[in-house]
Structures are given as structure tokens and as C-alpha cells.
Structure 1
Amino acid sequence: MASKPTRIGKYYYKIPGTVKLLFETPSGFAIFSFDEKYLKKSIEHIWVFFVGNYWHKNIVWLHEFRAFEDKPNVFNLTAQTIDVSLVKMLGTHCGLDETLVVGSRGYKDIIEKRMGLKCLFDDAVKEVMWGLQNLMHTLVPQEQSKITKDDRLPMSLGLNMVLNRYKINVTQEMLNEYIIKKTSKVYATDLREKAHLKFLHRMFDEDFKEFSKVDSTYWTLSKFATALKIMFDPDGALKFGNPHKGRIAVRIALLG
């Protein structure tokens, strides 16, 4: 986890491991510092960090938010101009040696052209922007506007991948906080099951091969758990306790 930035006067110094991020809200723009390692995680995984009230507190920090009366013309992509107030805002918080994460290809091109700042926009950034928008009123409490359908980003790519895996068809119009949170819990359960399965393979594959001549390399979690249950606890007498004692019991069952 990157350290939180330290403020000196009006300026924020660059902290190793972070990038600056320009986030657009219905009435203005906010500048954050963001832990860049979360931009390198898989597309399927990024969105999870912006569901709930915990992960985001350690990966993103607000520097400044500013509302604009003429918000639609802050970026004039036709004339290739940027509102002078936003230019000053970016200049205050972004150094020329930093990377600025932005929410559109057009913003990337115009900022790089007019200000010489290196910008980043890709699929991982889209996921982060989706996540920030999902938590907008938590992360930018100064933003009082409600999100309209026009303000909403397309569904998270990662969220959609998880839903498709379970053959659940959820359209953009159907998406709500309840669905997002429930899908996050399902995904977290998947990760825990994979972790438990990896542990069982690491602990017992060699034992099965050595004592029972059975190759359990490709066993699923349910098959693994069922086999272990039948072998050393057929009557359900085992109680929760020391996992190392449980492993000894498995070895005894395999040898027996």
C-alpha cells in the first residue's frame, strides 16, 4: 500500500507508487492520488475494490474538487482548449514527471498536447473510473448533484465478466447497488474457494499419490473435501481444532 501524500503549503509532492487521477463529476472535476498497482490488476478484479466501505480508503485520496458553471465547455475538444481554472488546478497538483490518469481518450490527447502532461487511459482506467463513480458521494462529498442515466458509465467490464460466468443477464438499466454488492460477495466466495483448493492440493496431492496411488491434481474443491471427509471422518466426529492435527489424521487414514 502506498503512503498517503504529505501536503506542504499549497502543493502535494509526488509519492512513489502513486499517480494523479482526474475524475469528472456531474458539476466539476476532482483530482486524486491513486495507488498505481491497482491499475495493474486483472480487469475482472479491479471493480471489487470500489464496492463497500473499506478498500478505497487505502488506495485513493482526494486533493481538490472544483465545480464549474460552464461544465460542458471545460474541455473543448473541437477547439482543443481547456478552461484556465482547470489548467491551474492540474498545474498545482501534477508534476511533469508524473502520470495523470484521465477518463477519456479525448481528455488524454488535449492535456498531453496543451500541458505536456503524460496521461493514461485504457481498460483498467475505465474500471477505476467506474469504481470512483460508484462511490462518488463518499469520495467527493462536495458533489451534491445526483447521478442521472446520462452521467452513468457503462457497466464495469469486470462485473460483467463475473455475471456472464454465472449466466446472469443484467442490463445497464437493471444495475443497482444491491446487484453490485451481491455480485461482489459471489466473486469473493470464488476467490476463497480457489485459495482453499490451492491449499488442499499443496498439502495432500503428494500424500494421495504416495499412499493411495491416486492422482488428485485436477480434483475440484468439492471432490477433494468429500474424499477427505470419507477417509478420516465418516461419522462426523471431527470437531474444529488444530489444522496440523487434522493433517496427521489424513496421513493415518491414507496409511491405514
Structure 2
Amino acid sequence: MWRKDFQVFEDKSDAINLDTGIINNQLTHMLLQFWRQPDQKLAVGKPEYKTIIEATLKIPCLHDEAVVEMMRGLNYLLDSIVPEEKSPKQGECLRTSRGLQMLLNRYGFSDVEPNMVDQTIIEMSCILYDCDCCQKNWSESLRLGSHFLEEVSSIDSEDWDIVKLATALKMVCYPDEEITFGDPKEMFSADELSKLVADAPKYEGSGIIKGTIRRLYDETLIVLDLKTETQRRLASYVRWLKKYMNMDVEQHK
């Protein structure tokens, strides 16, 4: 995403008049100047803008829930994208973000009220989201190695989580090295564990890339530790914030 143009309108209500449906010459020139692709749509922040621009300039516009969420994100970043424009209060952008609320709900923080959201909460939420993205990417890579477990040891790992899969692949690639996370005796069934231990020599020359398995295993554990610690810190911060806000309310009674 990048900025294509920015213009100052002394009277914003004159730029696009919601009552008369008239677009002034300055905004008309700006929109037409950058309108290039007939198969694209212009995302606009209000349904009224969509109606007026389509009727007046014949430019197809888009305004839906996805666009509204995108506009919230743009407002939050407005200071860096358009430093000439005074941005709305960041708190308002954060509190109205559906994406942030969905993210907090996913990690068990559905009790976070809109007026509690601040920079700390959004930064820790972004860390959790990034951890999930990393785990997803590495999971796809590890799944490519899971067929070795099926071919060599007749182990079906399709329903395993990323940590269990990474551990199994690490065990067969580096049988003499210690497993640094979790207890294999608890992680695997007795049959699975015996096969992983006994079949380790069979993976030599099987085509599995040991260096990649080691890297994915180590990175998976690093991200898992970061995610666990961030969730702990976020939970602690939310508890503190609730206590602080309750104290503030009591003082103002």
C-alpha cells in the first residue's frame, strides 16, 4: 500500500455534498486522474460516497464490512501515511476494530472491554497473531516431512499438532539428541514411541532433510515460548487494567 495523492479541502462538505450529491471540481479531478483500471473498484469509507461517486462520475465503488475494517486500520496509521492530516483518536480506531476483537476472543480475552484497548494490548495481540502465522507456515513445511513417518514407520500423523509432528521428526533425524520440550512418553502412544526409537536408523538415506527439520523444530519452540509468555503477560496486563479502571471509577463516585 502506498499513498497516491493527498489534497487539502478547506471545506470538506463542499468536496462531496451529501445533501445535493454534487462533487466539486477539485475532488472530481483527483478521482479521475488516478482512475486507470476499468475492472477495479474504488473503496470508499461511507455508503453515501459510493452512491454519489457512482452516479456522478460513473466510477464503480465498494463499501462493505471489509472496507470498513480497512478504513479503521488506515485511520490508525494515518499519521504515517498522511502526516499533513490530523488523525482521529487512536483509541477510537482500536476500540472499533472488529479484527482486534476477533483476535482477542480467539485467545480467550473476550472480557476485554472496548474502552480498555490501548497500545500495549494491540501490540501483544499482534505478537500472538504473528506467532500463529509463523506456526502455520512452518506447519505446512513440516507436513511435507510427515509422509516419511508414514512410509518408514507406518505412523499416521495427519491429526498431530505442529509441536508433536516437529518432535517426532526431530527424534528420527537426531535420535541421540535430547528433546527440549515436552515428554515423548506423554506426547506419543507406546506403539508410536517404540517405532520412532527403533526406526531412527531407517531414515538415513530416506531423503528427509535433517538440517531443515532441526531448524523448524528450533523455530517452532522459540515461537511457542514467545506465544506462551505473551499470553501470560497479556492476561496479567488485562487483570491490572481492570483493577486500575475499577479504582478510577470508585474515585470518581
TM-score range, shorter chain: 0.5 to 0.7
Distance 1:94 1:230, change over 3 A: closer
Structure richer in helix, relative to its length:
2
RMSD over equivalenced CA pairs, Å? 3.2
Counterpart mapping for 1:166-181 below 5 A: 166-169=107-110, 170-181=112-123
Which residue of 94, 102, 105 corresponds with 2:44? 102
* Distance in 2 (alpha carbons) for counterparts of 1:235 and 1:140: 53
Secondary structure of 1:80's partner?
coil
Q: Name the aligned partner's letter for residue 87 of structure 1.
A: T
Alignment match, 2:28? 87
Deviations 1:23-58, CA, capped at 9 Å, x for gaps? xxxxxxxxxxxxxxxxxxxxxxxxxxxxxxxxxxxx
Deviations 1:113-167, CA, capped at 9 Å, x for gaps? 1111121222332232222212101111211x25247974863333332221112
Q: Any unmatched runs of 5+ in structure 1?
A: 1-58, 239-248
* Distance in 2 (alpha carbons) for counterparts of 1:229 and 1:105: 54
Does 1:253 pair with 2:195?
no
Contact 1:154 1:172 in 2 (8 A): yes
Secondary structure of 1:65's partner?
coil
Secondary structure of 2:99's partner?
helix
Secondary structure of 1:63's partner?
coil
What is the Cα deviation at residue 72 of structure 1?
4.0
What is the Cα deviation at residue 197 of structure 1?
1.8
Which residue of 160, 178, 193 corresponds with 1:236? 178
Which residue of 222, 237, 241 corresponds with 2:163? 222
Counterpart mapping for 1:1-256 below 5 A: 59-60=1-2, 62-95=3-36, 97=38, 99-143=41-85, 145-148=86-89, 152=93, 155-169=96-110, 170-204=112-146, 206-231=147-172, 232-233=174-175, 235-236=177-178, 253=200, 255=202
Q: Name the aligned partner's letter for residue 255 of structure 1.
A: K
Alignment match, 1:244? none
* Distance in 1 (alpha carbons) for counterparts of 2:198 and 2:68: 49
The percentage of counterpart residues that share the same residue type is 34
Normalising by structure 1, report the TM-score. Answer: 0.60
Contact 2:135 2:162 in 1 (8 A): yes
Q: Name the aligned partner's letter for residue 107 of structure 1.
A: Y
Secondary structure of 1:94's partner?
coil
How many correspondences in the alignment? Answer: 185
What is the Cα deviation at residue 75 of structure 1?
2.9
Structure of greater relative contact order (alpha carbons < 8 Å, 6+ residues apart): 1
Distance 1:193 1:187, change over 3 A: same
* Distance in 2 (alpha carbons) for counterparts of 1:235 and 1:95: 59
Distance 1:147 1:229, change over 3 A: same
Deviations 1:61-119, CA, capped at 9 Å, x for gaps? x2322222322453332322223332232233335835322112111111011111121
Contact 2:41 2:60 in 1 (8 A): yes
Q: Any unmatched runs of 5+ in structure 2?
A: 181-195, 204-253
Distance 1:151 1:82, change over 3 A: farther
Distance 1:92 1:213, change over 3 A: closer
Distance 1:150 1:94, change over 3 A: farther
Larger Rg: 2
Contact 1:208 1:215 in 2 (8 A): yes
* Distance in 2 (alpha carbons) for counterparts of 1:136 and 1:229: 46
Contact 2:45 2:71 in 1 (8 A): yes
What is the Cα deviation at residue 237 of structure 1?
8.9
Structure richer in strand, relative to its length:
1
